[in-house]
Amino acid sequence: MMGMVPSHGGRREPFERDAIRLLCSDLIEPETRGQLAGLLKEYVFEGGLNRVVFEAIVGAGSLSARRLKEVLPGLVTNLGFPDFELKEYLGRNGSMEDDIDKLFESLLELSETRPDKSEKAMGQSA
């Protein structure tokens, strides 16, 4: 099923959101979160808010998922998104056990996506 993430055209954002839901999940350990985030270090996020939330997660370090969810709204607000609402952003109850496989799949798909150089030039440095 790999290779299903479109490389452009506004279609990667749901996959990005799923990957972030996984990183915020109570079902993974902080060390695992760090390893999974490392898979996306070269990824060029399509959604600006998605990139900021991802960077805030990485910057938060090895916090428990519960603590991460407590501090994440403040971190994202400090990075320029004052109206950020975590519950609204993550949807439902964050990540549910029954869709954890889908969330992992989205993250792995994104980690294998290599956007064009022109996309990187539009919003992110190398």
- Pseudo-torsion of CA 4, 10, 14, 17, nearest 10°? 120
Single-letter residue type at 85: E
pLDDT score recorded for residue 115: 61
For the record, the structure tokens of 117 come out as 């150089």
pLDDT score recorded for residue 49: 93
pLDDT score recorded for residue 90: 81
pLDDT score recorded for residue 125: 46
Q: How many CB atoms lie within 10 A of CB 26?
A: 13
Measured between alpha carbons, how far is 123 from 14 in angstroms, rounded to an integer? 19
Domain locations in the chain as residue ranges? 13-114
Measured between alpha carbons, how far is 6 from 113 in angstroms, rounded to an integer? 8
pLDDT score recorded for residue 122: 42
* pLDDT tens, per residue, the chain with 126 residues: 444 554 444 588 999 999 999 999 999 999 999 999 999 989 999 989 999 999 999 999 999 999 999 999 999 999 999 999 888 888 765 446 668 889 999 999 999 886 655 544 444 444
